[in-house]
Amino acid sequence: MLLPPDDEYFMRQALREAQAAYGDGEVPIGCVIVKDGKILGRGRNHMETLQDPTAHAEILALGAASGALKNWRLEGCTLYVTLEPCPMCAGAILNGRIAKVVYGAQDKRLGALGSTYNILSENPINRKIDIVPGILGGECLDLLKSFFREIRIRGPKKKLAASDHPDELSAAEQVPGRNLSELSGFEEVDSEMDGDIDGEFEEDS
């Protein structure tokens, strides 16, 4: 099946944000918000950098897009994110009146767009939000797997160099234009590193 070129194009922009988060030692999740073919806001996971539990890629991108429009009502906008949004981000997407959400990899623990919860499709105010899953999902998942392999080798405290990971976009792919506990549900990274999160984002056995 051929992908709509705009969805793949903008998901690659979200992937670039995720790769920048990787270089910062954050779980590599990235997001862009688009309206009429223009990127209004970008965000990447900054929970560790900012020491802020709300600093998810989607939240930061929503704030940037609202600032660009000088309006919190993001009607007609599409949100692209490399990992299925969590319940907090899904609520913010609903409140921001985003028209469409496109995501890459599923989050089988905290995914709020169908994997675990259905916050947008079952919202009590009957707001219609289109959901497109799985765009570049393999690449988004591979970046997460790479990050957790690095964490296992280097430890969760060490900042990773952006050039160290193998999944960086090549020059030909460049287009103009959640920490571990966020994904696993655990606060203590070290004690849980060999637990459920490994199985979710590591190679299938």
Query: Under 8 Å CB-to-CB from 165, ≥6 apart: which residues?
Result: 19, 22, 23, 143, 146, 147, 150
Greatest pairwise CA separation for the chain in angstroms: 49
Which is catalytic among the residues 17, 26, 48, 58? 58
Q: Is 84 one of the catalytic residues? A: no
Rg (CA), the chain: 16
Which residue numbers are catalytic? 58
